[in-house]
């Protein structure tokens, strides 16, 4: 760049590889040899290339260099486009599973399909998975334990007032700890949903719905 520079500028452009003091001495030495021209403005010294040593540039040569510059710039743009396209393709290839990874995924999928087919085999053959006796036993167990749950809930509901009196003065965590120690489990939203659903509906209500 054909413009004046100070020792500080040159040292900074060299990323501090050459100290400012050493840079100043080198520039002064070059100026004494006639390769640079030294100019002083106040307390600051600047150096510029000796214009007398520069080659005269004919208009034809300048035009040729300008044409060459434009050609190289166009080539650089084309190459930059190729680099972007290649980078995009490389990113796609890197994100694509390898043959070994595909083989592992395929084997896992085959294993899952086989396991599911084994589960479905009895249904496809028409085999009864749960006998009438087992269904009757399940109904009896459900009726027995639901009645027990209803009985215990009634007892707890009767004692709710006493429970509230016992826990109102306690912090929430201590109240929860006390409930855990006593084995008290309050109904969750899932429990409430089951209670209101058809599974727990009275038999007479179900009969009306069927009719």
| pLDDT at 187 exceeding the cut of 80 | no
Strands in the chain per DSSP E: 5-6, 36-41, 44-49
All residues at 6 or more sequence positions from 206 whose CB lies less than 8 Å from its CB, including other chains: 198
Average pLDDT of the segment spanning 45-52? 84
pLDDT of 75-101, one tens digit each?
999 999 999 999 999 998 888 888 899
| Cα–Cα separations (whole angstroms), residue 63 to 24, 53, 56, 74, 75 | 37, 22, 14, 17, 18
| CATH assignment of 5-53, among 3.90.1570.30, 1.10.10.10, 1.25.40.10, 3.20.190.10 | 1.10.10.10
Spatial contact of 19 and 11, defined as CB atoms under 8 Å apart: yes
Q: What is the pTM of this model?
A: 0.34
For the chain, residues classed under CATH 1.10.10.10 are 5-53
Q: How far apart are CA 167 and CA 154, in angstroms?
A: 19
Q: Inter-axis angle of helices 132-158 and 160-167, to 10 degrees?
A: 60
State residue 57 phi and psi, 5-degree precision: -110, 105
Spatial contact of 7 and 22, defined as CB atoms under 8 Å apart: no
pLDDT of 51-66, one tens digit each?
777 777 788 888 898 9
Secondary structure letter of residue 199 according to DSSP: G
Predicted pLDDT at 206: 42
């Amino acid at each position: 760049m054909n413009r004046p520079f100070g020792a500080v500028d040159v040292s900074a452009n060299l990323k501090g590889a050459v100290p400012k003091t050493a840079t100043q001495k080198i520039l002064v030495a070059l100026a004494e040899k006639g390769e640079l021209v030294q100019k002083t403005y106040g307390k600051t010294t600047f150096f510029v290339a000796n214009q007398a040593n520069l080659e005269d540039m004919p208009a034809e040569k300048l035009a040729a260099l300008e044409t060459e510059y434009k050609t190289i710039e166009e080539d650089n743009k084309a190459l930059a486009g190729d680099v972007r396209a290649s980078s995009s393709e490389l990113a796609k290839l890197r994100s694509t599973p390898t043959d070994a990874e595909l083989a592992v995924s395929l084997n896992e999928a085959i294993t899952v399909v086989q396991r599911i087919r084994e589960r479905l085999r009895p249904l496809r053959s028409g085999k009864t998975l749960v006998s009438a006796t087992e269904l009757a036993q399940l109904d009896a167990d459900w009726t027995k334990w639901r009645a027990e749950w209803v009985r215990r809930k009634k007892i707890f509901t009767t004692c709710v007032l006493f429970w509230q009196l016992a826990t109102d003065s306690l912090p929430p965590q201590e109240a929860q700890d006390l409930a855990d120690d006593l084995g008290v489990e309050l109904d969750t939203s899932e429990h409430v949903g089951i209670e209101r659903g058809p599974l727990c509906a009275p038999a007479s209500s179900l009969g009306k719905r069927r009719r």
